[in-house]
Amino acid sequence: MSKIFDSRVAIYVSTITEIEVLGFPQLTDEEKTEIEKMLKTMLIVPLDSQIANIAASIRRMYRLKTPDSAVAATALFTGTILLTRNIGDFKKITGLRVEEI
């Protein structure tokens, strides 16, 4: 994971992912501060109507939960690789590039 952050590659993050990482109930104030610092170095991609439509199609076709569909749609929309700890649900999506972290 640190290799990703040490590279000069732009990192895109869905607003859904932002909600997920900042929404952990056990998140300490220190962890929240660190996450917020990391997020400031990334390009946050807002969930707009185009991404919502892609997400809706993914949800219908692959029966994913709405947040996972939105994250996948964001990666497809931006043409980026989806980095996740849970590749199982995402691997079946046609055209989506997925890597496990």
Distance separating alpha carbons of residues 60 and 39, to the nearest angstrom: 30
CA 51 vs CA 11, 35, 54, 60, 97: distances in Å = 17, 24, 5, 14, 16
The structure's pTM equals: 0.88
Instruction: State residue 5's pLDDT score.
Output: 56
Mean pLDDT value across residues 32-37: 97
Instruction: State residue 9's pLDDT score.
Output: 80
In this predicted model, what pLDDT tens digit does every residue of 41-50 receive, in sequence order? 999 999 999 9
Going along the chain from its start, the domains and CATH numbers come out as: 2-100 (3.40.50.1010)
Range with the poorest average pLDDT among 2-16, 24-38, 41-55, 86-100? 2-16
Paired residues of 84 in beta bridges: 100
- Would you say the C-alpha torsion 32, 10, 14, 85 has a positive or negative sign? negative
In this predicted model, what pLDDT tens digit does every residue of 59-92 receive, in sequence order? 999 999 999 999 999 999 999 999 999 899 899 9
Q: How far apart are the first and last CA of the chain?
A: 6
Is 21's pLDDT higher than 70?
A: yes
